[in-house]
Amino acid sequence: MLPSELLVAKIYGNKIFPRFARLSRDNIELASEVIEVFKSNIGRKRDEIIDILSEFEQGINYRFIRGLRVLLERRSTFEVKSKLNPAEVRKLIFEEASKVGGVVTDKEIRGKIIESVASRFSASVEEIEEALWADQEGEQILSAFSDIDPEELLKRYNLSLAQTLLFSATSMNVYVEGSFKDVLRESKYRGLMYFAEKTGGGVSLTIDGPASLLKLTEKYGTSMAKILPSIVSLDKWSLRANIVRRDMDGKPRIYEFLLTYRDKHLLSVKEREREVFDSSVEEDFYTAFQSLGTGWRIGRESDTLIAGSSVFMPDFILEKGNAKVYVEIVGFWTENYVKKKLEKLGKLQEKVILLVNEELACSTFQRYPDVIYYRRRIPLKSLLEILGRRESETDMKALRTSELKNYKPRGKVVYLNEVATEYGLSLDAVKENIKVEGYLLLGDMLISESFLKELETKMKCFEGATRSDVEEELKRHGIRDIDTVLEFLGFKTIWRGVDPRKAKIVKTN
């Protein structure tokens, strides 16, 4: 489908028709030129590509060119190209700007702010300017493009136009000769209300829309539109639909839309790849979330997460910048199933949001922090509120992690759990990111290299001493993880029972 504002249709009396692109030489050449813009501009910004394509709109129905562009953008991969994290750069610039009153219009002051931030990132002014808005949609770089035949592009455009028109259908009748099971299966899968009847040599499928225009929903219109490819792929068929459009006075009117297999040569009949979902609830959620345009990317069948000895694969993964959140839709359950699922979730470091059918829910879910209840449709507003918090937490975590680069130990021995508490980070995040010149990371400790050399000299006097004497000496220097330090220094404990006073410290080979 295309965005509704790109729909091009013509009305004759009470009938409506999409303005299909003819497969003429001129249109094929035009489609080829638009495709070439994408093929030849890999490495350029999205806004630059859009500017080039805007030249094609002169003297041509701009919605046609933009419709082609939308279809080609779906075949494109756009990436953020920046050595620095744009969100972090903006945060520091805004912080510096707030010190001088907020919005900065003076070029000299702005330049000083940019230079200050560049210094903090150990980057050039040019790199800061490049990173500042690099994650904005128009600044993203075209990194890959999946080529397509120009005639096939026009056919897909026509199919998308018809689907966009069906998005506003209140009812539809499909007549199919020959094999009709795919259409029935698709209608049932989409949750459509239909009645199938054998007529002559085929089957007539009547699909009912909402009871009245007041109950017209995007969900139902989308479901109607999505069955079109399964119809077009058949040999002999006809489709008649009632379409809601507003007249010149803004009042809704019903128009008739007719499409038959004789139009098939204008439409793409290539089998479309479709996400495989466990239920229509999952697919509806996927479609609705994609249409929001929040900047969060949604993926089906997310990463495999490890929860203790168990493996857990959520239904969806949501990503934005450095933020990553997983979503699990909970269907049928038993008390034991819920208990085990929550035990797994409790062992995960990753964030998982549960979407639970209110009619199937039980009180056990109330113990879980991020749970959203739904009836027929998932409340996306509640989900976006949680995602907003997760994004803020991720940005703050990234900022705190970057601050570890300037960490200065206040002693010869530093325990990382104390650093984690100070910076509000997990122990794993600290261990992964902290690096201090002149210090070694041993287990969960940072220890001064010069101090380790002192200990190595002292330990020569302790060879053959009891474990209790060595423990006392090491603890006097603030070392609690005795075995880790002993192993690093090349010593081990020979135990005789559990009493450290009887255990001996010996040099390893």
76: in domain: no
pLDDT value for 150:
95
Helix (H, G, I), strand (E, B) or coil at 2: coil
- 393 shares its domain with 284: yes
> In this structure, what CATH number is given to the domain that contains residue 327?
3.40.1350
- 388 shares its domain with 421: no
- Give the number of C-alpha atoms closer than 13 A to the C-alpha of residue 189, restricted to the C-beta side: 16
Quote the distance between the C-alpha of residue 145 and its chain's center: 20
| DSSP bridge pairs for 260 | 238
**From CA 455, how far away is CA 477, in angstroms rounded?**
10
Is pLDDT larger for residue 368 or for residue 416? 416
106: in domain: yes
Q: 384 — phi, psi (to 5°)?
A: -65, -30
**From CA 263, how far away is CA 496, in angstroms rounded?**
90
**From CA 28, how far away is CA 502, in angstroms rounded?**
90
Measured from the Cβ of residue 95, the count of other Cβ atoms closer than 10 Å reads: 11
Question: At what angle are helices 150-166 and 62-73 packed, to 10 degrees?
Answer: 100
For residue 37, give the H/E element and its range: helix 25-39
Measured from the Cβ of residue 110, the count of other Cβ atoms closer than 10 Å reads: 15
- 304 shares its domain with 390: yes
- 371 shares its domain with 472: no
Contact 355, 284 (CB under 8 A): no
**From CA 446, how far away is CA 438, in angstroms rounded?**
10
Of 225, 245, 274, the residue at which a domain comes to its end is: 274
- 266 shares its domain with 287: no
Phi/psi zone of residue 148: left (φ > 0), alpha (ψ -120 to 50 degrees), beta? Answer: beta
**From CA 233, how far away is CA 418, in angstroms rounded?**
64
- 290 shares its domain with 393: yes
- 173 shares its domain with 241: yes
> In this structure, what CATH number is given to the domain that contains residue 237?
3.30.70
Count of domains forming the chain: 4
Model pTM above 0.85: no
232: in domain: yes
297: in domain: yes
pLDDT value for 309:
47
- 92 shares its domain with 183: no
Residue type, 74: R
- 314 shares its domain with 225: no
* pLDDT for residue 228 is more than 50: yes
- Give the number of C-alpha atoms closer than 13 A to the C-alpha of residue 372, restricted to the C-beta side: 20
Of 367, 397, 427, the residue at which a domain comes to its end is: 397
497: in domain: yes
Share of the chain above pLDDT 90, in %: 15
Average pLDDT over residues 273-297: 75
* pLDDT for residue 44 is more than 50: yes
Give the least confident one: 233-237, 259-263, 314-318.
Answer: 314-318
The H-assigned helical ranges of 40-149 are: 46-54, 62-73, 86-98, 107-121, 125-132
Give the least confident one: 66-80, 348-362, 487-501.
Answer: 348-362
| DSSP bridge pairs for 355 | 329, 372
**From CA 160, how far away is CA 191, in angstroms rounded?**
21
244 closest CA partner among 159, 165, 160: 165
pLDDT value for 91:
79
How far the first Cα of the chain sits from its last, in Å, is 71
Measured from the Cβ of residue 451, the count of other Cβ atoms closer than 10 Å reads: 18
What pLDDT band is residue 312 in, cutting at 50, 70 and 90?
A: low
154: in domain: no
For residue 171, give the H/E element and its range: strand 169-177
Contact 180, 202 (CB under 8 A): yes
Q: What is the pLDDT of residues 376-404, one digit of tens each?
A: 778 888 888 888 887 777 766 666 677 77
- Give the number of C-alpha atoms closer than 13 A to the C-alpha of residue 69, restricted to the C-beta side: 19
Average pLDDT over residues 473-486: 84
Of 118, 133, 148, the residue at which a domain comes to its end is: 133
Quote the domain boundaries for residue 453: 413-507
Q: Which residue has the tokens 């949501």?
A: 318
Average pLDDT over residues 158-187: 82
pLDDT value for 340:
63
- 265 shares its domain with 285: no
Average pLDDT over residues 159-173: 87
- 387 shares its domain with 296: yes
Side-by-side strand order, sheet with 445-448: 413-415, 445-448, 439-442
152: in domain: no
**From CA 316, how far away is CA 322, in angstroms rounded?**
17
pLDDT value for 95:
76
332: in domain: yes
213 closest CA partner among 173, 169, 176: 169
pLDDT value for 210:
42
* pLDDT for residue 313 is more than 50: yes
What pLDDT band is residue 105 in, cutting at 50, 70 and 90?
A: low
- 419 shares its domain with 366: no
pLDDT value for 188:
56
